[in-house]
Chains A and B, each alone.
Chain A
Amino acid sequence: MTETPAKPKPRPAPESLPYWQAAKEHRLALPKCEDCAQFWFPPSRTCPHCLSTNFSFQTVSGRGKVFSFVTFHRVYRPAFAGDVPYVVALVELEEGPRVLTNILGMSHEDVCCEMPVEVVFDDYDEDISVPKFRPLAG
């Protein structure tokens, strides 16, 4: 018998290390410009809104809504063979940026655009926690 291969872990780029460090503490933190006050994603060292390099990672609400989503039926990597069909969604956060994620805690058939969601953290191991989303409680 062969073991199911492990799911790929993120291999953080230098500029996204603070994002993954915050995730490990179960906080969703994104770069925020200290000049124009806008958030952006994915992390980079220059604000794409005003090209300022004056920024810091700020914890966000973790709430948003599903902008769009797809449901994987095909197994592209053996590690996901036990998960199909699974949803990959683009969530638009209250603070503006859109993030790619999985939707947990509901059937793939019930996911819809504009659905309110909140972040939840999936602990892969002691070093890596991956932000995912579930339907907003209440």
Chain B
Amino acid sequence: MNAFTQSPQIEPSRELRDTCAIVGTATSRLGKVPGTSSLDLMVEAIRNALDDAGLKASDVDGVLCRGPDDSYSHHQLVAERLGVNARFSTTLTNGGASQIMSVALAVMAIRFGMANTVVCGFARDTWSRTHANEEVRVRNETRPESMLAREFGPEYGYYGATAAHAFGATRHMHLYGTTRDHFGEIAVAFREHALRNPQAQMKKPLTMADYHAGRLIVAPFGIYDCSLRSDAAGAVIVTSAARAKDLRQPPVLIKGFGTHNNTRGWFADDNMVVTAAKQAGEAAYRMAGLGPQDVDTAQIYDCFTYMVLTQLEDYGFCKKGEGGPFVASGALRLGGALPCNTSGGQLSESHCEGMLQIVEGVRQMRHTYPDHRQVKDAEIALISGHGGNQVCHSTLILGRA
């Protein structure tokens, strides 16, 4: 690439640092919620978040809510159910990177006078759609060929997100000697956190022996490397830092954000072992005026165990290739050097495409948890969102006011 094809380094606006705050947050019921829909769950989470903030629906003038990808203009359906005419509203479609992007967009909209109070949310009803009973299970597993890719995949028996991410895990193991024990420590650590969280979908302890005994899905991934199928919604409410001072909760400041997308493709370049978290994180750190050494807790998008390991490297918590020993040290545990996914994550709490990572980051910054769930003296939280075709990434840095 020459100087003209390589974009110059973007300097995110430090002017936006600390201008907005998250003033309310909540989830819906999580896990297996029969007889509900993603819209029901979304409205449930938003009602709870408004209660948390001490706000009414009529205070909201921005709605950035996303649902399942086949739900057309989900934000409109949500706003209708809230009885809100929104000044600023859309659905982002960047997979699991969308939810942090919606918070970043809310900050920009508030700063430039397009909205005052924005609700950002995500909801899915994946368990009800695919696992709730035999009928939906069969329908999910026998989708017609016309719904699959046309070529360069199905004819080889190549299906699903598990396999796509497993390609990265194999490559990382080859280059750096990473092992399934390293992946297992991530699954075990997050399960231990989930056992402290009464809302978590997974209730049973998980040992390393259980991890290795789990059936293989697409090797090197077994069942415990894979995130959950969940019915789940989460929401946060964003407003200006000035307005936040008058509200019910201690405001949590939005200190930095960044996005990057390795849209040349997951299979291109080194993208499966150096993710877009690298550039997204660098942008967020520069906006916040912080670095990895300042982060007290990380809430990392854990669609699969390996993705946590590689993102921790990309965010600079350890060097590239040293993620295995880093997680094996116990760093990710509550009480460890970098408590990570402290509510159990998508591997053990519920899978809500990164939205619950934002909720948990906010809650850790409020210091309202009992001691056994609280990251002691935490001042800064880093949150990641990853998705699309494995290449889209967004980063959010929160701090105590």
Contacts and interface: CB of A to CB of B under 8 A. Distances in A.
A68 B272 contact: yes
Interface string B176-190: 000000000000000
A90 B218 contact: no
Contacts of B171: 67-68, 113
A99 B220 CA distance: 20
A1 interface: no
B153 interface: yes
A70 B162 CA distance: 10
B112 interface: no
Interface string B193-217: 0000000000000000000000111
A74 B157 contact: no
A16 interface: yes
A101 B268 CA distance: 16
A13 B151 contact: yes
Given A10-B151, A12-B151, A70-B219, A98 B170 contact: no
B217 A68 contact: no
Nearest to A83: B157
Contacts of B219: 70-71, 73, 85
Interface in B325-384: none
Interface residues of A, number: 39
Given A10-B150, A71-B219, A100-B152, A76 B160 contact: yes
A100 B168 contact: no
B170 A11 contact: no
A7 B156 CA distance: 9
Given A90-B167, A98-B268, A114-B174, 16 more contacts: A7-B155, A8-B155, A11-B151, A13-B150, A20-B151, A69-B170, A70-B220, A71-B216, A73-B217, A74-B217, A74-B218, A80-B157, A83-B157, A85-B216, A100-B158, A130-B155
Interface of B: 141-142, 145, 148, 150-160, 162-163, 166-168, 170-171, 174, 215-220, 267-268, 272
Interface of A: 7-13, 16, 20, 42, 67-74, 76-80, 83, 85-86, 88, 90, 98-102, 112-114, 124, 130, 132
11 contacts: A8-B148, A42-B151, A68-B170, A68-B174, A71-B219, A76-B159, A77-B154, A85-B216, A100-B158, A100-B267, A102-B157
